[in-house]
Amino acid sequence: MAETPLAKIVETAVAPAAGRRSAVSERLPGDVHWYDLPDDEAEPDEPAPPDDPGEPIEPGGPAVALAPAPRRKRAFGRKAGRAATNSTAILLLLAAWEVLPRLGVVDPVFVPPLSENLVAWYDLLIGGQLSEHLQASLARSLAGFGLAILLAIPLGLLIGWYRPVADFLTPLLELFRNTSAVALLPVFTLILGIGETTKVTFVLYACAWPILLNTISGVKTVEPLLIKSARSMGLGPLRLFQKVILPAAVPTIFTGVRLAGAYSILVLLFAEMVGAKAGLGYLILDTQSSFRIPDMYAGIITISVLGLLFNLLLVGVERRFSTWRTT
């Protein structure tokens, strides 16, 4: 009997299926093939190559290996190399400070070697004089700096967010922002006297400007697309300011805070040179007048280290409040 075309079609369709059934029946228990998996997993099960050729993957072991120790060592080496590069200029400066006076390149009377200045710094520390002056300067600096933050940030947010307030206060800000704080020190002294109030107010005035101006800039330069997107999702003015404007302005605000931290120490030296009986500024002026040059440099070194530590502290606080930022 001749085979019909329909029979040929059925035979052609059934033959592969029968072959697959025979192949399935010949598999050992537990065998899994790619056609048994769902579509998104139908890939050959090949172990990923290790990151380090020296770390082979054992047969039957996990396909993903942990980060090898050599990679951690390389990361540590890169960090150490970066730290060494960043410290090279400072180390060269310290070496020149020690060597040049001893070689007579500079007068050792006016620029003593670094080792002599460190000895004088240690003597002041042991004698208790350095801690007394340091405490007085820190109290004044932190008081003025803290008041500047409490007053300048809310005022900057208000000026940056509300146009009528900005239009009213901008001419006044432009007038005083271009006036040096040091130039106004005699005015503060005449009005407030030579007591602690003058010094704290002087630091407050000097620190307020970088915080205020950076806060205004941070609010005004928020990405307009963020504001439009937030408003399209139904955020009111208060929630918009809380959830979008303020977080976006935090990095710029902290830039002003860090500048103000440096100013709080620098301008305090000028204030402590007028009518003060304690403080690092008074220590520098007094030792210079009595020609105790190593003690004078000891006070300068203390101010430099204090400013560096203060800046590192503010950087850590900035990272804490800006954890959402991508680097």
Burial 196-206 (b: 16+ CB within 10 A, else e): eebbbbbbbbb
* Amino acid 40: pLDDT: 46
How far from each other are the two terminal CA atoms of the chain, in whole angstroms? 80
Taking only the tens place, the pLDDT of each residue in 23-45 is 444 555 555 554 454 544 444 44
Distances (CA, A) of 169 to 178, 184, 190, 214: 15, 21, 26, 15
Q: Are 231 and 244 in contact (CB under 8 A)?
A: no
Assess whether pLDDT exceeds 90 at residue 22. Answer: no
Task: Report the run of H or E that residue 270 belongs to, with start and end.
Answer: helix 246-272
- DSSP string of 196-254? HHHHHHHHHHHHHHHHHHHHHHHHHTS-HHHHHHHHHTT--HHHHIIIIIHHHHHHHHH
Q: d(Cα 112, Cα 90) in Å, to the nearest integer?
A: 18
Mean pLDDT of 304-321: 85
What is the four-CA torsion angle of 207, 205, 200, 310, rounded to 10 degrees? 10
Written as one string, the DSSP assignment of 31-42 is ---GGGS-GGG-
φ/ψ bin of 178: left (φ > 0), alpha (ψ from -120 to 50), beta (otherwise): alpha
Of 246, 212, 211, nearest in space to 226 by CA: 246
Instruction: Give this prediction's pTM.
Output: 0.69
User: Given this model, what pLDDT does residue 296 score?
Assistant: 93
Q: Among 51-65, 208-222, 240-254, where is mean pLDDT lowest? A: 51-65
At residue 27, the pLDDT reads: 52
- Report pLDDT digits (tens) over 122-164: 999 998 889 999 999 999 999 999 999 999 999 999 898 888 8
d(CA 157, CA 247): 12
Give the pLDDT confidence of 52-92 residue by residue, as tens digits. Answer: 444 444 554 454 444 456 677 676 677 777 777 777 888 89
In whole angstroms, give the CA distance from residue 181 to residue 20.
89
Which residue has tokens 């408003």? 231
Please tell me the predicted confidence (pLDDT) of residue 173.
Answer: 86
How distant, in Å, are the alpha carbons of 158, 223, 236, 281 from that of 247?
15, 12, 16, 38
Assign 209 a pLDDT band (cuts: 50, 70, 90): very high
The CA-atom distances, in angstroms, between 62 and each of 48, 57, 68, 305 are 10, 8, 14, 51
